[in-house]
Structure 1
């Protein structure tokens, strides 16, 4: 069990909880971010508390400045898991009241226009280095293009190791992703060339790095907060006033990838229902329904047209898994 990662009075309980989750087959990275948030919150606001009290829960459950309701609910869900574990282990703790966690609000991903994409990546390409991230200008153009061109989840890019990137064949190995599934996906030739040039430059600066996108000599992945900060910096540097009520998120590149692929197949005259199983495998979805969701993000007339082909969607042959 790793030590000294947490600083609050709950450090031992959190470590024990993470160890338990790993022992029953879950990956630590699925829980580590929220546990670090809760640990820092307790260290700052309740440094002497050794029991999760009603006061701690009330303060933790408050909606923060510029925080979405869904993010607040995710924080509560993470804490509920810890509290349930502590209670099952016979430790004294406050029980989260029923009804505190409500159903998450549905959301509609941000779909970029072609001009918005051009402006975003122009902003990424011209992003200067930063005192605390002096290699940021090298990582950002490649990392966010990989998101968009391969439809990766944010955490998949952050935890991509150098050994997972086969630049000779243009293959990415995505290990232990959502649902604890591994998969191999192909890059386009343009992306492979971009990654090869990035590797040529960054390997001279950080020759022994572990992660493909790494900001220093210290072998640890970028944090989700850092990735989000860099994404926001690109948005600002792009000068684009993005349409819609909500600003884009890193995760929206994944949604845009899926819709672009479906549109491309449609232009090529391919049967969408025949092709969706391949998109499911590429994106690592657990079900075909999760992939078909992207049809409903299309313009209404397009979605209705595609939906006529929905019946009888086949499974991908086992030899192509």
Structure 2
């Protein structure tokens, strides 16, 4: 495959690995993986190989690029899954000597203890958010903002940066663009969530006009800050008369994302579904590079921890999984 053909294919690969990278991406697309971040990182790898005249997919080539990127980007490492997957794909297609990035490059995971929201806390929070005593526009957008975190598992930053053109109310879908690791994804929305977003959008347009940079905005019409989200969360929590632990882990907006993950675990287990078969859907919905990242959330499921021994003795997969009704 020529460089010209590759450019026409939208990848612009130029290294000795150009045909393999293009074929690999075509394979992933056939499997339904269209993430822009995968293409972006493989372009960086391709450029590295071109500039360093690398022609063999060996340890020196792969780890040389990884080391160079780490020096630029710091400790964040989920992007390594892309180049690791390429090595496995090459081996599966006859290149037995292709190097698969060692797991020693994975960042160590520290034990985490997120705040686990109770159903009564969630109900009280949203009842208060619907009538929160706050300056415009949080009077009407508080429910919509935290609904996306609770019902769709969005990160706080993803919700803050959401643009109006990424919310497709008619199609009931939502685009999360260039999120963590430069990954993007399209999420289906339930009718209830769509109605909440539509009401918020209608009121915001009435106050600020048809054009705005982000879906959720400050009183000056700008993108809201992370500090503002923390403050409005604390205000709603306080107005709802919800208690806070005297010490240890405290409730934060991110607790809604945790709840989204383990609530799906609990529901699917109660329904008797093969949760392991569903785990890749949860990982993709939440924007994780791999299901390993999802384990950070599912291990917080009380029902999962309680049922763990039963699952293993029943001969099922050790790690159950999650879903979002039939919309995954």
Q: What is residue 161 of structure 1 aligned with on the other side?
A: 163
Distance 2:230 2:146 in 1: 11
Shift of 1:186: 1.1
Residue 119 in structure 1 maps to residue 124 in structure 2? yes
Distance 1:201 1:295 in 2: 36
Name the TM-score, length of structure 1 as normaliser.
Answer: 0.61
Q: What is residue 252 of structure 1 aligned with on the other side?
A: 255
What's the C-alpha RMSD, in Å, of the aligned pairs?
Answer: 2.8
Q: What is residue 154 of structure 2 aligned with on the other side?
A: 152
After superposition, the Cα gap between the structure-2 partners of 1:125 and 1:305, relative to the gap in structure 1 and judged at 3 Å, is: farther
Distance 1:216 1:306 in 2: 51
Shift of 1:302: 2.5
Q: What is residue 39 of structure 1 aligned with on the other side?
A: none
Distance 1:195 1:312 in 2: 34
After superposition, the Cα gap between the structure-2 partners of 1:221 and 1:257, relative to the gap in structure 1 and judged at 3 Å, is: same
Name the TM-score, length of structure 2 as normaliser.
Answer: 0.60
Distance 1:242 1:123 in 2: 16
Residue 278 in structure 1 maps to residue 281 in structure 2? yes
Q: What is residue 302 of structure 1 aligned with on the other side?
A: 307
Number of residues of Structure 1 aligned to a counterpart in Structure 2: 214
134, 147, 161: which is aligned to 1:129?
134
Shift of 1:276: 0.3
After superposition, the Cα gap between the structure-2 partners of 1:309 and 1:178, relative to the gap in structure 1 and judged at 3 Å, is: farther
CA contact (8 A) 2:113 2:249 kept: no
Q: Deviations over 1:149-173 (max 9, x none)?
A: 0000110000000001001111110
Written as runs of structure 1 = structure 2, the 5 A alignment for 1:29-68 is: none
**Which ranges in structure 2 are unaligned for 5 or more consecutive residues?**
1-39, 42-72, 75-107, 322-326
Shift of 1:312: 9.8
Distance 1:185 1:268 in 2: 23
Residue 211 in structure 1 maps to residue 218 in structure 2? no
Shift of 1:305: 3.8
CA contact (8 A) 1:297 1:303 kept: no
User: 2:299 is paired with a residue of what secondary structure?
Assistant: helix
225, 249, 263: which is aligned to 2:227?
225
After superposition, the Cα gap between the structure-2 partners of 1:240 and 1:216, relative to the gap in structure 1 and judged at 3 Å, is: closer
- Which shows bigger deviation, 287-296 or 174-183? 287-296
**Which ranges in structure 1 are unaligned for 5 or more consecutive residues?**
1-24, 27-79, 82-102, 315-319
After superposition, the Cα gap between the structure-2 partners of 1:257 and 1:194, relative to the gap in structure 1 and judged at 3 Å, is: same
User: 1:172 is paired with a residue of what secondary structure?
Assistant: strand
After superposition, the Cα gap between the structure-2 partners of 1:200 and 1:312, relative to the gap in structure 1 and judged at 3 Å, is: closer
Distance 1:290 1:306 in 2: 21
CA contact (8 A) 1:171 1:186 kept: yes
Following TM superposition, the consecutive aligned residue runs of length 4 or more in structure 1 with deviations greater than 2 angstroms are 103-107, 242-246, 292-295, 302-314
Distance 2:157 2:134 in 1: 23
Shift of 1:111: 1.1
Distance 1:174 1:305 in 2: 37
After superposition, the Cα gap between the structure-2 partners of 1:312 and 1:194, relative to the gap in structure 1 and judged at 3 Å, is: closer
CA contact (8 A) 2:150 2:260 kept: yes
